[in-house]
Amino acid sequence: MKTMLKTSLLSLALAVVPTSAAFADVIDWSSDEGISRLEQSHFKKDFFKLANFYDAQDNKVYCGVASTSIIMNALRVRQNVTEIPLDESTIAPEDRAYFPQGDWSPFYERYTQNTVLGHSAKTRLQIMGQPVSEGAGPDYGLQLDQMTDLVTSNHLKVKTVFVDNLDSKATMKAELVHALETRDQYVVVNYSRKTLNQPGSGHYSPVGAYDKASDSFLIMDVSNAKANWVWVDSDQLFDAMATMDTKRNRGYLLISEGLKG
């Protein structure tokens, strides 16, 4: 089975080799070129659900948390897979005085950036910078292994790939493209903004599509107050993932449902 999977990924790697090897800066998805790439893309099944459940990060350290909430809602809202916890913090008790009484609830069954942290090994305060151990300094946000823990704490399946070198880039790219075409499997990338000539440092966001003609991936940036969604050349994206974050390189996660409906 593993041999067959490797063979199929290798075949896909060859299939997604672009017809022209042009290297480009990031392209705004709302530009004429960006729209054209989305229209012509044959690898965009994930885009529509991700766009429907897009949720910008609540603060500057929640990019991983926001990416997780988007994926979880895409997988579970209206799917009857599991009971989704209600986030009662979104409406203060005093603001509920005139709501209908009884069993009626003003809260929707969807994940928020508060509720996805309910079972996280790294707490909300630690994500905000509280030292994780005595004598340690602040560790803002989530490193890739910590992001993996957050995802698995919510009973999702995840394959985490640290991009330690680029020798197998073709196979890794094929794996990303395959996930974009696989029902209920989603991609989140952890990359350095600096490598993309964007302001900032490490970041997480879901990937929505791949365009073969331009050999680029659509990054659905969760920081919409800072950046638009952009198409990124695949070589540039892998260079951005093959960067150090504290202890290990960055990389990507392939996420799917871990519970049976």
Q: List the domain range (segments joined by +) for residue 48.
A: 2-84+142-257
Q: What's 71's domain CATH number?
A: 3.90.70.30
Q: Of residues 258 and 18, which shows the higher confidence score? A: 258
Q: In whole angstroms, what separates CA 103 from the centre of its chain?
A: 35
Model confidence at 21: pLDDT above 50: no
Residue 91 domain-assigned (yes or no): no
Residue 108 domain-assigned (yes or no): no
| Amino acid 121: pLDDT | 92
Rounded CA-CA distance 76/82 in Å is: 7
| Amino acid 135: pLDDT | 84
| Amino acid 136: pLDDT | 85
| Amino acid 14: pLDDT | 45
Rounded CA-CA distance 169/238 in Å is: 7
Q: Which of 8-17, 56-65, 119-128, 146-155 is the least confident region? A: 8-17
| Amino acid 25: pLDDT | 84
Model confidence at 18: pLDDT above 80: no
In the chain, the number of structural domains is 1
Model confidence at 110: pLDDT above 70: yes
Amino acid, single-letter form, for residue 23: F
What pTM was computed for the model? Answer: 0.88
Average pLDDT estimate for 231-260: 95
State the average pLDDT for the chain: 91
Model confidence at 237: pLDDT above 90: yes
Tell me the pLDDT tens digit for each residue of 49-94. 999 999 999 999 999 999 999 999 999 999 988 999 999 999 999 9
Rounded CA-CA distance 245/255 in Å is: 21
Residue 154 domain-assigned (yes or no): yes
Residue 77 domain-assigned (yes or no): yes
Does residue 221 sit in helix, strand or coil? coil
Residue 223 domain-assigned (yes or no): yes
Residue 208 domain-assigned (yes or no): yes
Average pLDDT estimate for 166-191: 96
Residue 109 domain-assigned (yes or no): no
Structure tokens at 60: 């500057």
* In contact, 257 and 81? CB cutoff 8 Å: yes
Residue 122 domain-assigned (yes or no): no
Structure tokens at 80: 């009857």
| Amino acid 24: pLDDT | 60
Tell me the pLDDT tens digit for each residue of 180-232. 999 999 999 999 999 999 998 999 999 999 999 999 999 999 999 989 999 99
